[in-house]
Structure 1
Amino acid sequence: MSRGLGSTSKKVLLLFAGGLALGLARSPRQYFRVIKGVGHEWQKINRIKLNTAIRTLYKNKLVRMIDNDNGTTTLVLTDAGRKKVLIYNLDKLEIEVPKRWDGFWRVIIFDIPEKHKPAREALREKLKGLGFYQLQKSIFVHPYECKNKIDFIIEVFKIRPWVRYMMVKHIDNELHLKKIFSFV
């Protein structure tokens, strides 16, 4: 894809991913009547921007159109569209901070082959962005529960065979880590 998507296109993609199937009639008057009844998020999208967003998504092969027998058209996410949605969801990931720390360190270790270097670098950047501390080049530590988020990240980057998630009760430089995470 040559250009990034605008915020309306992103919103439309995310709404599709949420299970929304948009059936569009051939005439604008009819399909905006459909949209009007669909939901609050659709109503917040400007009609002209929506039209442009749908054309952009179609042009970029993120959605496909299915012509129905009754003269309407249904828009469906393609595999490329689903991947794009995963990336947008990945950008919004955050690790929740509980009221009280459970005393366990979450340690991510990885040994990702050189042929997957872009995924390895993306993982490093994502872990840093989530607040992990880089203990060594391929070892990151975080104090809070994040297994589901890590599983999601390694699935998106397709690096499951080379990444391990551990919960550790004690690390020999724990005092240093507690200072980093403001526990002392």
Structure 2
Amino acid sequence: MGVIEKKSRKMRKLRTFQKALLIAAVGGVMVAIGAVPDFNKILKHLLNRKNDARFRYQANTVMRRLAAQGLITFEERGGKRYARATEAGERMLEFESLRKRSAQKPKRWDDRWRVVLFDIPERRRRVRDLLRTFMREFGFVRLQDSAWIYPYDCEDIIALAKANFHIGADALYMIVEQLERDKHLREHFGLPPAS
């Protein structure tokens, strides 16, 4: 295995580790790493770590990073330090959950296109750029500047995007039954040709 592959694998493990810590913080409360024995075993398994000191150091580093990103907060109770997910942390987990669900395509397409139109003013250009990235990550295809298309139900994803980016009135979700010249889209999404 080459150096780049090793770095890539390490980054994937760290992202998994961050998600695991965040999930634990959402699922209840967690003592800053050592209080939940099963959780310790799960995280050690995720990281393939045998050295407890290094594991604790890495876990605490990740927790500080999550706190700096505003995804978790720390609380003191009964002389112990607990981590709890913030609202932003819970939204991030919801986003990850939706991303996994969107990757699972239905066995049969319902012959309907989902189209999202948005009209975000220039003064909110950063939000517009983030939304474009969001749409690409979920597998949408750009039809025109602010028109995106997807073949499967994605109403939950769009609702989450509207809430996260505060664009409720600036975005429109449509279900389209007929679309001209959709051959390239059908090929892109691996859908059967039009009958």
**TM-score calculated relative to the size of structure 2:** 0.69
Closer, same or farther: CA 67–181 of 1 in aligned 2, 3 Å: closer
| Counterparts of 1:16 and 1:94, CA distance in 2 | 24
Amino acid at match of 1:36: P
Is the contact made by 1:86 and 1:156 (CA closer than 8 Å) also made in structure 2? no
Out of 176, 182, 192, the residue aligned to residue 174 of structure 1 is 182
Unaligned runs of 5+ in 2: 1-13, 48-54
Is the contact made by 1:106 and 1:168 (CA closer than 8 Å) also made in structure 2? yes
Closer, same or farther: CA 62–43 of 1 in aligned 2, 3 Å: same
Closer, same or farther: CA 122–12 of 1 in aligned 2, 3 Å: same
- CA deviations 1:48-87 (Å, max 9, x no partner) are 322333344445554333222x322222234454465566
1:107 aligns with 2:115: yes
| Counterparts of 1:173 and 1:49, CA distance in 2 | 52
| CA positional deviation for 1:109 | 0.8
| CA positional deviation for 1:10 | 4.2
- CA deviations 1:130-156 (Å, max 9, x no partner) are 332222111111111111122122222
Identity %: 28
Number of positions where the alignment pairs a residue of Structure 1 with one of Structure 2: 170
| CA positional deviation for 1:47 | 2.8
1:126 aligns with 2:124: no
- CA deviations 1:81-122 (Å, max 9, x no partner) are 446556666776734322111011111111111122112122
| Counterparts of 2:98 and 2:109, CA distance in 1 | 25
Unaligned runs of 5+ in 1: 1-5, 25-30
Is the contact made by 1:108 and 1:163 (CA closer than 8 Å) also made in structure 2? yes
Closer, same or farther: CA 159–180 of 1 in aligned 2, 3 Å: same
RMSD of the alignment, in Å? 3.0
What residue in structure 2 maps to residue 27 of structure 1? Answer: none
| Counterparts of 2:69 and 2:131, CA distance in 1 | 26
What residue in structure 1 maps to residue 155 of structure 2? Answer: 147
1:136 aligns with 2:136: no
| Counterparts of 1:57 and 1:177, CA distance in 2 | 39
What residue in structure 2 maps to residue 49 of structure 1? Answer: 58
Closer, same or farther: CA 60–120 of 1 in aligned 2, 3 Å: closer
1:22 aligns with 2:30: yes
| Counterparts of 2:148 and 2:180, CA distance in 1 | 15
Is the contact made by 2:112 and 2:151 (CA closer than 8 Å) also made in structure 1? yes
**TM-score calculated relative to the size of structure 1:** 0.73
Greater per-residue helix proportion: 2
Amino acid at match of 1:41: I
- CA deviations 1:5-63 (Å, max 9, x no partner) are x533443123323x231135xxxxxx62x220457534536333223333444455543
User: For 1:145, what is the secondary structure of its paired residue?
Assistant: coil
